[in-house]
A and B are shown apart, each in its own frame.
Chain A
Amino acid sequence: AQKITQTQPGMFVQEKEAVTLDCTYDTSDPSYGLFWYKQPSSGEMIFLIYQGSYDQQNATEGRYSLNFQKARKSANLVISASQLGDSAMYFCAMREGWVGANNLFFGTGTRLTVIP
């Protein structure tokens, strides 16, 4: 089974509107971390936000927030007040466990296009 599932290959949003990018994950480990990365056409993977499995509150970083629903195993990214520069690929990723936890499992990504 896939560890990370992103079901939206592409999304469109009007500039200044909010958009939610979906991510579900699969793990039986009680300790895990969830990450979102942005990849513009230039190729660099830019870290956006992190949520730990034991964190009580949803993570927020500026215009990015993570809607963490543990029971549903979902970690959706919400981008508020979209800007043209937000157009990019967005990847959800998960790290399992704590000991030797070097591997990040990535989803297939969602291409976000912001419309002027």
Chain B
Amino acid sequence: ETGVTQTPRHLVMGMTNKKSLKCEQHLGHNAMYWYKQSAKKPLELMFVYSLEERVENNSVPSRFSPECPNSSHLFLHLHTLQPEDSALYLCASSRDGRETQYFGPGTRLLVL
């Protein structure tokens, strides 16, 4: 089983749609992360969860809503997105906040 999985791999949505991205880690880690990767920009950290509690939210718009029901699963709920939200969304996990982060394959999101 691959360490960190993400579904779907590709998503096209309209600005009025509601969708969710799912991330699952099989590494026994305690911290999980959402990153956004836009063209020609460094990866941007969006949310961090440690032991299922959100510990960091880097001023992300409220149209992005994370959920961490347990240490193995992380969701990113999307609603009323804008075209500039089109990007690659990467999930990562680590044993704790200081350890190496391992990434999933990402979800390529296109907002029309």
Contact = CB atoms under 8 A, between A and B. Distances in A.
Contacts of A109: 42
A43 to B, nearest CB: 4
Contacts of B45: 102-104
16 contacts: A43-B90, A43-B105, A43-B106, A43-B108, A44-B104, A44-B106, A47-B101, A47-B103, A50-B100, A98-B98, A102-B31, A103-B45, A104-B45, A106-B42, A107-B42, A108-B42
A45 B102 CA distance: 8
A98 B104 CA distance: 24
Interface size class of A (residues with CB under 8 A): 20 to 34
Interface in A1-44: 4, 33, 35, 37, 42-44
Given A4-B42, A45-B92, A91-B43, A104 B98 contact: no
A9 to B, nearest CB: 9
A114 to B, nearest CB: 22
Interface stretch (B12-20, B48-56, B66-74, B77-85): B48-56
Given A102-B48, A102-B55, A103-B45, A47 B100 contact: yes
Which of A4, A43, A107 has the largest count of B CB atoms less than 10 A from its CB?
A: A43
A101 interface: yes
Contacts, number: 55
Given A43-B106, A47-B100, A103-B45, 8 more contacts: A43-B105, A44-B104, A45-B92, A45-B103, A47-B101, A50-B100, A100-B97, A106-B43
B42 to A, nearest CB: 4
A98 B96 CA distance: 11
A35 B100 CA distance: 8
A102 B40 contact: no
A81 interface: no
A33 B43 CA distance: 17
A100 B31 CA distance: 11
Contact of B105 (A37, A42, A104, A108): A42
A37 B97 contact: no
Contact of A47 (B97, B102, B106): B102
Nearest to A109: B42
